[in-house]
Amino acid sequence: MMSIANTEQKPACTTGGLGNYLWSDPPKENKWADCVHCGLCLEACPTYEQLGQEQHSPRGRVHLIKSVAEGNLFVNEAFADPVFQCLDCRACTTACPASVDVGGLIEEARGQVRQAMALKGWKAMTSKFFLETLFPHHDRLHAAGSLLKFYQKSGMQKLVRKTGLINIMPEHLVEMESIMPEIKTPVRKKYKQEQVIKAKGVTKRQVSILSGCIMDVMFSDINEATINVLTRNGNDVTIPKNQTCCGALHVHAGDREMGRKLAKQNIEAFKDSEKVIVNAAGCGCMLKEYPELFHDDPEWQEKAKEFSAKVEDISKFLYDTGYAPPKAELNTRITYHDACHLAHGQGIREEPRDLLLHIPGVEMVHMPNADRCCGSAGIYNLTNPEMAGAILESKMANVPEDVEMISMGNPGCMLQMAVGVQKYGRNQRIVHTVQLLDWAYQKEEEQGSGQDGEK
Amino acid sequence: MGKNKVKTSDIHILNLAKLIFGPQAILYKKEDLLAYDCDGFTIERHLPRAVVFPTNTEEVSKIVKYCAENHLPFLARGAGTGLSGGAIPLNNEIIISLVRMKRLLEVDLENRFAVVEPGFVNLKLTNSISDKGYYYAPDPSSQYACTIGGNVAENAGGAHCLKYGVTTNHILGLEVVLPNGDIIEIGRNGIPDSPGYDLLGLLTGSEGTLGIVTKITVRILKNPEAKQTVLAYFDNIEDGSQAVSDIISSGIVPAALEMMDKTAIEGVEAAAFPVGHPKDIEAVLLIEVDGIAAGIDDQIELILAVCRRRNVREVKVARDEAERGRWWANRKTGFGAMGAISPDYLVQDGVIPRSKLPEVLARIHKISEESGLRIANIFHAGDGNLHPLVLFDSRIPGETEKAIQAGSACLKVCADVGGSITGEHGVGIEKKEEMRFVFNEEEIKAQTDIRNVFNPDCLLNAGKLFPTPGRCAEVKRELASKS
Ligand SMILES: Cc1cc2nc3c(=O)[nH]c(=O)nc-3n(C[C@H](O)[C@H](O)[C@H](O)COP(=O)(O)OP(=O)(O)OC[C@H]3O[C@@H](n4cnc5c(N)ncnc54)[C@H](O)[C@@H]3O)c2cc1C
Ligand code: SF4
Ligand code: SF4
């Protein structure tokens, strides 16, 4: 048995060190010491639900992470599998009575795995392309966005689909291609000339927004909606220039070094901001967790804490600061999906529902297990398509039949749910919560009754 | 996810892999097995030889037959939330995990029964039938995760078992794979009582030593018309205990009557589901009454009066379902909540006559002082089922042993006052020596004789439930000498 472990190569330099964790920034003992092995988290975990295997459950993962520290296990392929099959959905954090930070432990463990061994094959390609080549670089993202736009507008898309070229793409990429949102102009480009996008009416607060990397390219209309909704409610909005990708996907993938680099850049970029408003749950959660990245660097940890305190999700910000409920009616039946990083990661459940319910004419149908992961989980749907697909299938089974739209607060989920709608022959439109709100405001303006009235 | 690619020189694993179907239906690498080296009882750890994941009774039967023919020790595992080590592979067993057999097979509302596979999770049953106005009564605090198969094996109880009875009172039929691989069925079509010995009763609570349960018919109940829940805070634990006795002797049968002491309150308030219990009180009672709407208010009045007579500091009735839910979540996650104030805990499970409550609590307090370990008490006070939680840190040398001793001393107290050493968590590995507190050699032999009728070679879950030496110990030694 031990032979598997002994074949592991030792790292070139060992700075950290805790049992068989040989690199710096290992999983923190105080995090697993909270776990009493009660198992109450098992059923919350989507991968345990699918496989029924305990190494793929939160308790099992914590146990393995602890075993490495105790010297009973090595950081190798077999350890990497359960650690990387985790969706980072944080449902276990909600379920756990002892508030064990399973997600944090997993990310730290992934950091060790990535330093111990390199990725291979398709996964490596996807990861490298998205995480290193694309996301941290706005210019490249915009260029890719323009290409996509060209692809859609020029008729190439039609051509690819018609010629069957699409059939040679891997299945999950085909699914993705078919639901690609229509690419519009990123807000960073659009508002390039404006220092401040002024509030409509009296200015009450100043806020900055995280425009996001992929968000601004694939979903610029959501950023647009966010800006509209903020300015409509008395907020001057800035889009700090030097901001970059939040780093969540890098940290999920175990590249904590890159995570730190991006975090530092963002902390600097938002230095003068009072509030950092985020419309992507995954990014918001990451920004709030920046201090976790700097356990070995007190100076930056302090800065990260200050920064994190300023971060807020758009739905909670509107709810907390008081917003004007729109007066125009949007007659529609919708349901709401809790993005993992909003519900489990940030504890935000009621606020977005409240915003939606205050739009006249919106009827909300309950989705059973609304806070169950959809399988998107960053680029998990690209790196672990089989598991992601199985999870999506059970998610879609919970979507009520008779709704026109599914609302949520995370772009990753929106893409995945769009795949689901397409794949299972459903017809719902996928929308972001602020989009619905924005549409209602727009309609109100069209009807010419756009007067302020605080909630 | 992947399919079965089995690479090993262990011929038995290769053979077993051929008997079962499904993705990753067998685990055998050390890394994968580590997650199975213990259950909710973490003090003993042993690696299994393999874990298999059958999806139907026939597969279970084939696996068992193979194990029996080849003299391989094996045992069943559900969610692994057991607190006495019942699912720990002491003898390098093949673990037969039943979690992939998790279908709800049938619900018959008219005749009030449901049929489930053993891996079906307890709470899911109530969740599946609640919209039709029904529920499954046994509600162990682990019901979010534990399986009904595991509940049958442990004869699990729960907060609401005071009025409605424990698992055994709700089992109408079982399909069981015997240790030789034969499949038998006991009780059919929701009709439990057949002439002859009460085999259902014998198998329920047998801790996975007589057979592997593969299908279960359970009784389901209609939701009570009304329900009220009360929280009562006491400055003095004796007043709290006395209030428990008074409520029961007033003739009311509460659906649940739970108690937590100061240390337990500190834990639940520091954990994920706090409800704002005052920090300086000595005891909190959580009392629920249910039944037809007409009588409920009178019962609540009576309970409030009893509490006041016993110097309650504050007492309140849940305003709505949401508040009631929060109170219960706070209580039901109580064990896990100890993680917030201690790295490890050992939970004990004694039963005592209710009248001895103040005395027993005082003696447990003394054990805590002498051992230097904190002991929190969470318990089903209504039926005298005590759960002292010994808090310790396994990283400190010697502390685990101290915790085990303190736990055992608590059980001794329970036995001394005329009680028992387990109410609902089972004996498992943990309390097998303590069996001697309540049974003499002859009584123990009578029971092992019964086991040997079902499990003559002692391959199924050996080394549990009864103190060694017994026949199983010999098997263990024999196996040890072989490997
Ligand atoms: C936080 C917490 C709270 C708890 N609260 C309660 C409580 O309030 N009341 C209570 O009674 N218990 C409680 N328990 C203990 C535990 O949850 C129960 O004993 C439960 O019934 C175990 O179910 P399981 O599926 O986890 O079984 P496991 O732990 O997997 O197995 C338990 C035993 O049953 C056997 N077994 C499992 N499945 C089968 C099968 N299909 N056929 C034959 N044998 C089988 C195993 O071999 C083992 O001996 C609690 C545990 C925890 C961690
Ligand atoms: S992570 Fe939390 S819920 Fe899961 S086993 Fe550990 S303490 Fe229990
Ligand atoms: S984060 Fe999600 S997938 Fe990962 S262990 Fe927790 S519940 Fe399971």
Contact B1 A60 (CB under 8 A): no
Residue B336 is nearest to which of A36, A44, A50, comparing CB atoms? A36
| CATH assignment of B2-97, among 3.30.43.10, 3.40.50.12500, 3.20.20.140, 1.10.1740.10 | 3.30.43.10
Instruction: Please tell me if the CB atom of residue A406 comes closer than 6 angstroms to any atom of ligand 2.
Output: no
- Convert the pLDDT of each residue in A437-446 to its tens digit: 999 999 998 8
Separation CA A232–CA A235 (nearest Å): 7
On whether the A323-449 domain is CATH 2.40.10, my answer is: no
The DSSP bridge pattern shows strands B385-392 and B344-347 to be antiparallel
Separation CA A45–CA A449 (nearest Å): 47
pLDDT > 90: percent of chain B: 80
Contact B29 A54 (CB under 8 A): no
B321 CA distance to ligand 3 centroid (A)?
29
Q: Which residues of chain B carry a pLDDT beneath 70?
A: 1-4, 189-193, 469-483
Residue nearest ligand 3's atom 7 by CA: A45
- Convert the pLDDT of each residue in A315-349 to its tens digit: 999 999 999 999 999 999 999 999 999 999 999 99
Domain extents for chain A?
Answer: 29-116, 125-178, 187-320, 323-449
Contact A52 B145 (CB under 8 A): no
Given CB atoms, is A309 within the 8 Å cutoff of chain B? no
| CATH assignment of B343-424, among 3.40.50.1820, 3.30.70.2740, 3.40.50.740, 2.40.110.10 | 3.30.70.2740
* Helices of type H across B374-468: 399-416, 435-438, 441-454
B33 CA distance to ligand 1 centroid (A)?
20
Residue A4 has pLDDT above 60, yes or no: no
Query: Token pair of B193, please?
Result: 């009582």
A43 CA distance to ligand 3 centroid (A)?
10
Residue B80 is nearest to which of A39, A95, A99, comparing CB atoms? A39
Query: Which residue in chain B has the smallest CA separation from A37?
Result: B40
Dump the DSSP string for B95-143. EEE-TT---EEEEETTTTEEEE-TTSBHHHHHHHHGGGTEE-----TTT
For the CA of A37, the closest atom of ligand 2 is: 5
Given CB atoms, is A18 within the 8 Å cutoff of chain B? no
pLDDT > 90: percent of chain A: 55
**Nearest ligand to the C-alpha of residue A35?**
2
Residues A366-386 have a mean pLDDT of: 85
Q: What is the pLDDT of residue B446?
A: 93
For the CA of B83, the closest atom of ligand 1 is: 15
Is pLDDT larger for residue A81 or for residue A127? Answer: A81
Q: Provide the CATH number for the domain formed by B104-222 in this structure.
A: 3.30.465.10
**How would residue A122 be classed by pLDDT, with cut points 50, 70 and 90?**
very low
Contact B30 A63 (CB under 8 A): no
| Interface-testing mutation among B31, B49, B130, B154, with chain A (most A C-beta atoms within 10 A) | B31
CATH fold group of domain A29-116 = Fumarate Reductase Iron-sulfur Protein; Chain B, domain 2 (1.10.1060)
Instruction: Please tell me if the CB atom of residue A33 comes closer than 6 angstroms to any atom of ligand 2.
Output: no
Contact B273 A39 (CB under 8 A): no
Domain extents for chain B?
Answer: 2-97, 104-222, 224-341, 343-424, 439-477
Q: How far is A77 from chain B (nearest CA, A)?
A: 10
- Convert the pLDDT of each residue in A140-188 to its tens digit: 555 555 555 555 555 555 555 554 444 444 455 556 556 555 666 777 7
Is pLDDT larger for residue B285 or for residue A379? Answer: B285
- Residues of A within 8 A of B38 (CB-CB) are 37
CATH architecture of the domain with residue range B224-341? 2-Layer Sandwich (3.30)
Residue A7 has pLDDT above 50, yes or no: no
- Residues of A within 8 A of B425 (CB-CB) are none
* Helices of type H across A91-155: 91-95, 102-116, 121-127, 138-153
Query: Which residue in chain B has the smallest CA separation from A85?
Result: B1
Q: How far is B368 from chain A (nearest CA, A)?
A: 20
Rg (alpha carbons) of chain A, rounded to whole number: 22
For the CA of A99, the closest atom of ligand 2 is: 2
**Nearest ligand to the C-alpha of residue B158?**
1
Contact A54 B144 (CB under 8 A): no
CA angle B131, B137, B141 (to 5 degrees): 105
CA nearest to A393, candidates A419, A364, A370: A419
Asked if the domains B2-97 and B224-341 are classified in one and the same CATH topology, the answer is: no
Residue B340 is nearest to which of A34, A42, A43, comparing CB atoms? A34
- Convert the pLDDT of each residue in A15-65 to its tens digit: 446 788 888 888 988 888 889 999 999 999 999 999 999 999 999 999 999
